[in-house]
Amino acid sequence: MANAKTTTVLNPDSPLPLYHQLADVLLGKIRTGEYPVGCRIPSEHKLAETYNIGRPTARQATDLLVRKRILVRKRGAGTFVRAEENEVDLFSLAGTISSFHKRGISLDTHILRQTQLKKIDHDPENPFSGDEAYFLSRLSRVGGKPVLLEVIYLHPVVFAGIDDIDLTGLSLSRVVEERYYLRPTGGKQNFRIGYLDGKEAEQLAVTAATPILLVKRFLHFNQAKNAVFSELYCRTDQFVFSQTIRGIADD
């Protein structure tokens, strides 16, 4: 079991709860390698003794890091630093590309079809069906291997002029925030197994018989509901695409 090299004094007068302070301390030790991957962290009893807090507070701190998939509990053995996974939070309002970057994953994104205003064909699931919308598609690779194909539709009034912006290598969510001063207020996602054929299958380097994760994402803004609609085709043999469910205890 690794022992703490230094002891940080937690501040009971801070607006940040003690358990959150301790979680930050533990996370810092993990990031600096003091607690490497696979290392067993001190027991809750030892943490409580070291940081002069109650065991329930120590338990809250480790619970938080377990929920964030930083730590993992092994029955009868203790709590350990979890190995990094090729996992991307698929429902991040910060955007899909940002989700990769937050995991420290280098992503190469190529625009397949440049942004254009067009009339959208009939599709009962597409909120722009039968109307005009901005449309683009892009392919993302990690280590030269295609992992994600996105087809994106944007509200023609809310995002007027976006076809004049070269989105190559840019995070769409960042463009929306920095150029249009907008942030999504919420949304939803539908999940199913999907298949690709023809050119799209070739782009994602799969066959027509290869099952892939198909996600249909709807993002809402104050200016319009479903202002962004996208279809995401994800190769789950390359990455685990997850969706984090948060509770008020995580805030």
- pLDDT tens digits, one per residue of 218-227: 999 999 999 9
Q: What is the mean pLDDT of residues 32-54?
A: 92
Contact 80, 71 (CB under 8 A): yes
Q: Count the helix, strand and coil residues of the chain and give each as a percent rounded to the nearest 5.
A: 25, 30, 45
Regarding predicted confidence, which is higher, 192 or 68?
Answer: 192
Give CATH for domain 87-242.
Answer: 3.40.1410.10
CB-neighbour burial class of residue 61 (10 A; exposed 0-12, middle 13-18, buried 19+) = buried
CA distance 62 to 74: 13
Q: What is the CATH number of domain 18-84?
A: 1.10.10.10
CA-closest candidate to residue 17, choices 71, 79, 61, 66: 61
> Across all residues in the chain, what is the average pLDDT?
84
CATH 3.40.1410.10: which residues of the chain?
Answer: 87-242
Which pTM value belongs to this model? 0.61
- Stretch(es) of the chain classified as CATH 1.10.10.10: 18-84
* Distant-in-sequence, close-in-space partners of 239: CB < 8 Å, separation ≥ 6: 86, 87, 88, 142, 147
Q: For position 89, what pLDDT does the model report?
A: 46
pLDDT of 125 > 80? The answer is yes
pLDDT, position 104: 62
Burial class (CB in 10 A: 0-12, 13-18, 19+), 128: buried
Share of the chain above pLDDT 90, in %: 52
Mean pLDDT on 10-30: 90
| Residue given tokens 């942030």 in the structure block | 183
| Higher local confidence (pLDDT), 88 or 172 | 172
226 φψ region: left (φ > 0), alpha (ψ -120 to 50), beta (else): left
Residue 41: the pLDDT is 94
Higher pLDDT, 175 or 127: 127
List pLDDT tens digits, range 163-193.
999 888 777 888 888 889 888 888 888 999 9
